[in-house]
Amino acid sequence: MPDSNKFTIEVVYALPHEQTLLKVQVPPGTTLDEGVRQSGILEKYPEIDLDKGKFGIFGKLSKTDTELRELDRIEIYRPLLADPKEVRKRRAEEGKVMKKGGGDA
């Protein structure tokens, strides 16, 4: 039975082939950092770094000292494997080389 002095939040973390969504009851005044800790997700995914990681609430980048509200969804972001700007730049350069070369038909 839910505690009337607490409210529900969600903590989500996605890997390429696995997604985790945890619902947690937290007291008023709980911060994002505390919500992540209370969810137990750090035990399942020890690679999550509260000091260096990036977190959001409903897609908006948020600091770990942000106070949570009822039904907030904390999203834990993983580092990008490739910088999207560099990937686009590389593709554009490859495209230019191909256009200039013409190739043998």
Structural domain harbouring 68: 7-80
pTM above 0.85, yes or no: no
Q: Which of 20, 28, 24, 19 is nearest to 36 (CA)?
A: 24
Residue 36 lies in a domain: yes
Q: State residue 103's pLDDT score.
A: 54
Higher pLDDT residue, 98 or 32? 32
Q: State residue 92's pLDDT score.
A: 82
Residue 9 exposed, middle or buried by CB count within 10 Å (0-12, 13-18, 19+): buried
**Count: domains in the chain:** 1
- CATH number of the CATH domain containing 22: 3.10.20.30
Residue 57 lies in a domain: yes
Q: What is the pLDDT of residues 69-89, one digit of tens each?
A: 999 999 999 876 667 787 788
Q: Is the pLDDT of residue 24 over 70?
A: yes
